[in-house]
Amino acid sequence: MRMRETLDFLLFDWLKAGDLTTRERFAEHSPETFGAVLDTCEKIAREKFAPFNRLADTQEPHFDGERVHLPQATHDATRAYAESGMLAAAQDYDVGGMQLPCVIEMAGNAFFSKASVAMGGYAMLTSGNASLLMAHGTPLQREVFAKNEFAGRWFGTMCLSEPQAGSSLSDIATRAELEDDTDPLGPRYRLTGNKMWISGGEHEITENIVHLVLAKIPGPDGKLIPGTRGISLFIVPKRLVNERAELTGERNDVALAGLNHKLGYRGTTNCLLNFGEGRFTPGGRKGAIGYLVGKPGEGLRCMFHMMNEARIGVGLGAVMLGYAGYEASLDYAKQRPQGRPMTAAGKDAASPQRPIIEHADVRRMLLAQKSYVEGGLALELYCARLVDELHTGDDPAGAQALLDVLIPIAKSWPSEWCLEANSLAIQVLGGYGYTRDFPVEQYWRDQRLNMIHEGTHGIQALDLLGRKVVQQGGASLAALAARVQQTIERAIQTGWAPQANQLAAALAQVGGATKKAWSTGEPEEALANAVPYLQAFGHTVLAWLWLDVALAVSGDSAFAEGKRAAARYFFAYELPKIGAWLDVVARREPLCREVQADWF
């Protein structure tokens, strides 16, 4: 089964993406233009990305002290991506965009993530960076920076973390001092500090790099304001530009302190950047020049404006790595002969060996992968579709409520379970899967990043249980429950009634555990088991989506049978896992709070 078939089914049959063309913003589109975008993405990904994914891993970026070298293939692939117009896929026509719905943009990008998640990283970051500037930048900032990013002339980054402040953003210490608040490009500051884990932070793919940097403006006493209130957002270009977007020839004071050498995801450079260390002296003095975006103190709000899309993007990347492994292991399982059936006929050692896909345990490993990756794809597209509802639908508040509780799942669930899928892909290939002659080991390594970046698993769990499910008296959770209930009600009248009942029980169990976790009102008690809660919540959401997808297929084609089998798998093998996770949540198991550091 080709992924495109599943993608088209989810987009057009299940999510009715074609209906979006009745909205004014998408009126010039049709299912055909959407399909043409997907065709283009699929083709570029197949020709320019996939063949070089291993190369991007083995020819790791290196820094000669002055420049960072990447394989030519990375230059060519990102160039092809930029030329396709996908950098501005969702933007207005008048800035050179395609005015595509988010769900189509995401679907198109899925092909690149599957072909080479690391080579695709530069473009995703650039698109997110420029979109943020479209929302919060001044007209000139949009014109100078965003438009040149959308055109692929310059690439962008997001500079949040620092060596001492990863998950705890309130502790960032990069300092921004006002130099001139009349600069046409925006109030001009001088930044000093170190930024860590900056993907795409240095390279020679484009002539310039537009860093978006979180930093603190000191108070009147010259001290940085503790906490997130003091954080502002700045545009810090690697090379300085004028109002006409021409390079001035002056290098900004942004220096690569070093490349991180990673387990995977090696095709994307990952950097420690020093801002304002004095390596360069723009305007005759040290200090990185940065232009304020939005208002002082609103840096986090601006940065997280694009959070839905960013987290769906990471989740979708995780799904696609899982998908790549699934396809590779499925292909292998169909071709590799080994062993014989367990029937009487199988006892004849002289009979030929059979393809391993005939063994039940191999099918179990393939079904598990299928349920994770196709379920994950459904999840990400569902969320992207909600983003479209948020922006162009008639119930943006309803969409926001659902997104609030679904985004932590969209980010975390595939990062955990598509990692499991990648491990199963290795297992299907056996010893061969453990070699670098097959792609599955790289997928597994690349995937491991996803539980860490863009908010760790632990951070997503705190966001979900500590904030999202309790906000506004639990309104977001209730909104999700209502949607799930709709699916249950449709399913209960079909052959899926047992699964519908199972899902109803799971939903009740999640609701009950949520209440019990918070019954003492103590965050320490409620949140000590936030990760098991996140896991159970995620599995319940996926069970719901699988049931909904199963209801959307009809007939007895292999395609339909496959979707039903994956749905059945999820209910039989996966959903029952939530009991163990929710037990500790519901009883506010205190063990992890109580254990002492010296007991380890």
Would you name the residues annotated as active-site residues? 454
Tokens of 346: 């199988």
182 DSSP assignment: T
Minimum Å gap between C-beta 191 and its own copies is: 21
Strand duo 288-293 + 68-69: pairing: unpaired
Minimum Å gap between C-beta 336 and its own copies is: 9
Minimum Å gap between C-beta 573 and its own copies is: 6
**In this structure, are residues 149 and 129 in contact, taking their beta carbons and an 8 Å threshold?**
yes
211-270 positions binding its own copies, by CB under 8 A? 226-228, 260-264
Minimum Å gap between C-beta 421 and its own copies is: 13
- Please select the residue that binds its own copies; options are 444, 496, 537, 546, rule is CB under 8 A: 444
515-574 positions binding its own copies, by CB under 8 A? 523-524, 527-532, 558, 561-562, 565, 568-569, 572-574
* 590 three-class SS: coil
307-366 positions binding its own copies, by CB under 8 A? 330, 334, 337-343, 348-350, 353, 355, 357-364, 366
Q: Which stretch binds its own copies (CB under 8 A): 19-27, 90-98, 312-320, 452-460?
A: 452-460
Q: Which is nearer to its own copies, 89 or 440 (CB)?
A: 440
570-599 positions binding its own copies, by CB under 8 A? 572-574, 576-577, 579-580, 583-584, 589, 591-599
Q: Which is nearer to its own copies, 357 or 551 (CB)?
A: 357
Minimum Å gap between C-beta 63 and its own copies is: 15
Minimum Å gap between C-beta 60 and its own copies is: 10
Minimum Å gap between C-beta 109 and its own copies is: 23
Q: Which stretch binds its own copies (CB under 8 A): 131-139, 235-243, 379-387, 435-443?
A: 435-443
Say whether residue 497 binds its own copies (CB under 8 A). Answer: no
- How far apart, in whole angstroms, are the C-alpha atoms of residue 173 and residue 365? 47
Residues 6+ apart with CB under 8 A from 551: 487, 490, 491, 494, 496
- How far apart, in whole angstroms, are the C-alpha atoms of residue 269 and residue 199? 6
**In this structure, are residues 435 and 397 in contact, taking their beta carbons and an 8 Å threshold?**
no
124-183 positions binding its own copies, by CB under 8 A? 161, 164-168, 170-171
- How far apart, in whole angstroms, are the C-alpha atoms of residue 323 and residue 325? 5
Q: What is the 3-state secondary structure (H, E, C) of 121-151?
A: HHHHHHHHHHHHHHHHCCHHHHHHHHHHHHC
CA-based max dimension of the chain: 87
Strand duo 188-199 + 175-180: pairing: antiparallel
**In this structure, are residues 313 and 109 in contact, taking their beta carbons and an 8 Å threshold?**
yes
Q: Which stretch binds its own copies (CB under 8 A): 245-253, 300-308, 313-321, 457-465?
A: 457-465
Say whether residue 458 binds its own copies (CB under 8 A). Answer: yes
Residue in 270, 248, 254, 263 with CA at minimum distance from that of residue 199: 270
Give the CA radius of gyration of the chain.
25
Ramachandran angles phi, psi of 152, nearest 5°:
80, 10
- How far apart, in whole angstroms, are the C-alpha atoms of residue 464 and residue 518? 13
Q: Which is nearer to its own copies, 104 or 461 (CB)?
A: 461
Say whether residue 469 binds its own copies (CB under 8 A). Answer: no
394-433 positions binding its own copies, by CB under 8 A? 419, 423, 426-427, 430-431, 433
